Amino acid sequence: MRKFIFLAVAAVALLWVGCAGKEKKEEIARNDGHAGQATAPAEKKATRYHCPMHPSYISDKPGDCPICGMKLTPIEEEVITVSLPGLADVKISPERQQLIGVRMDVVERRPLNKAIRAGGRVDYDERKVAHIHTRIEGWIKKLFVDYTGQLVKKHQPLFTIYSPELVATQEEYLLALRAKRSLQGNPFQDVASGSATLLEAARRRLLLWEISEAQIAELERTGRPLMEVVIASHSDGFVIEKKALEGMRVEAGEDLYVLADLSGVWVYADIYEYELAPVRVGQEATVTLNAYPGEAFRGKVVYIYPYVEAQTRTARVRVELPNPGWRLKPGMFADVEIRTERGEGLVVPGSAVLDSGERKVVFVDRGEGRFEPREVQLGGRAGEDFEVLQGLSEGERVITSANFLIDSESQIKAALGAMAGHPH
């Protein structure tokens, strides 16, 4: 029994010694491991991969993009260059350029010609509009021009008028005429000159009332006053307004007819204020109308109105046109084109310019898939292009499509660069 107890105690002692030795060895191994870690080289950072078409997808292993199926490419450590506040240079592979539809054009020097197009309306030439009225009171007895739109020639009779005042003045003229004739041999010169003065005064009054020399001659021949006097037109034109009616009473100065000579017309064109700068008086204008397809009428800019319409932000320009055959009719709508020439200049396509309101930016091709945002100063438009005043050089290539996508990526890169502390 004692022998058995002794053997058991010996076994426990051996087991304890073995465990203590194992713990000691493990402690020594851990210490050796820590000491070795201080001198061992740093572990190499694993390469990550992303999709060129979907940069947001990142993987630790090479393979294909689960979104589009493109082959994943290694992510290269890139130094972000912020060329403008809030915008960084962008590097895009040729494959991705093709996928997003990047197109480029060259900045070049060429004539700054521009065709300004505007809607217009044909109207009367105000200088060729005549108002017909009488200088005496009376009643219209007979109308010779009795409808609106009728063509009237100069000196053509319009109507006859009866005026008691006019009849009285004619009788006064006839009395003065008889007196002058009877006093021709009178030895008293004062009496003879007085009758001549009365005759001349009555004659002037008739002329001021637009009684013609021929009518006065007829009055002298017949010796009887004309009860109805013919009022004639003093210009050519179409009747565009008629108030005269047979039997109506008229006042002195009252408009009875309005005539418009349509041998020449005006076209009013409304031009937006941003296009107004190159327009000059004397420039040639081409007018087309739906009434005459395929036909162009040529005129000149004769006046630019000194104000801008507040609602439409347009300025009115007046174009003068000859109108043989009266084909251009007031009220017609027209398309007006004014060609302007401002010499040569550097131009950039309008689609290349991103205008934020505070600045105008284009993306310039720097080669090897790198695009640099650049602020530019622009002049006026030249067709679909802009004149470049500052920021670009002749021969540089700029992005004309997909630049909104590139602008977004440029902003993201600039923000990431600011967060990561990349040098500018």
pLDDT in tens, 317-363: 999 999 999 999 999 999 999 988 777 889 999 899 999 888 999 99
* Predicted confidence band of residue 7 (pLDDT cuts 50, 70, 90): very low
Which pLDDT score is estimated for 3?
39
pLDDT in tens, 375-396: 999 987 777 888 899 999 999 9
* Predicted confidence band of residue 139 (pLDDT cuts 50, 70, 90): very high
The overall average pLDDT reported for the chain is 82
Domain ranges of the chain: 82-111+344-420, 115-125+261-340, 141-256
User: Is pLDDT above 60 for 15?
Assistant: no
Which pLDDT score is estimated for 24?
43
Q: What are phi and psi of 405, to 5 degrees?
A: -65, -45
Residues ≥6 apart with Cβ < 8 Å to 246: 140, 141, 142, 143
Buried (b) or exposed (e) across 54-76, using 16+ Cβ within 10 A?
Answer: eeeeeeeeeeebeeeebebeeee
148, 242 contact by CB (below 8 A): yes
* Predicted confidence band of residue 56 (pLDDT cuts 50, 70, 90): low
DSSP three-state, residue 196: helix
Joined together, the tokens standing for residue 176 give: 């003065």
Q: What are phi and psi of 215, to 5 degrees?
A: -70, -35
User: Is pLDDT above 90 for 410?
Assistant: no
Which pLDDT score is estimated for 18?
44
User: Is pLDDT above 50 for 31?
Assistant: no
If you classify domain 82-111+344-420 with CATH, what class do you get? Answer: mainly beta
For residues 183-204, give the mean pLDDT.
Answer: 69
The pairs formed by 202-211 with CB atoms below 8 angstroms and a separation of 24 or more are 202/169, 202/172, 202/173, 202/176, 203/173, 205/169, 206/166, 206/169, 206/170, 206/173, 208/135, 209/134, 209/135, 209/136, 209/166, 209/169, 210/134, 210/135, 211/166
Which pLDDT score is estimated for 25?
45
How many whole angstroms separate alpha carbon 167 and alpha carbon 58?
A: 109
| pTM more than 0.75 | no
Q: Which tops the pLDDT comparison, 81 or 98? A: 98
pLDDT in tens, 202-221: 888 888 888 888 888 888 88
* Predicted confidence band of residue 128 (pLDDT cuts 50, 70, 90): very high
Which pLDDT score is estimated for 28?
42
Nearest to 363 by CA among 321, 391, 387: 391
The domain 115-125+261-340 belongs to what CATH superfamily? Efflux pump adaptor protein, beta barrel domain (2.40.30.170)
Q: How many percent of the chain have pLDDT more than 70?
A: 82
User: Is pLDDT above 50 for 5?
Assistant: no
pLDDT in tens, 244-253: 999 999 998 8
Strands (E), 233-351: 237-242, 249-250, 255-260, 264-272, 284-288, 296-308, 314-322, 333-340, 344-349
Which pLDDT score is estimated for 75?
65
Which pLDDT score is estimated for 304?
96
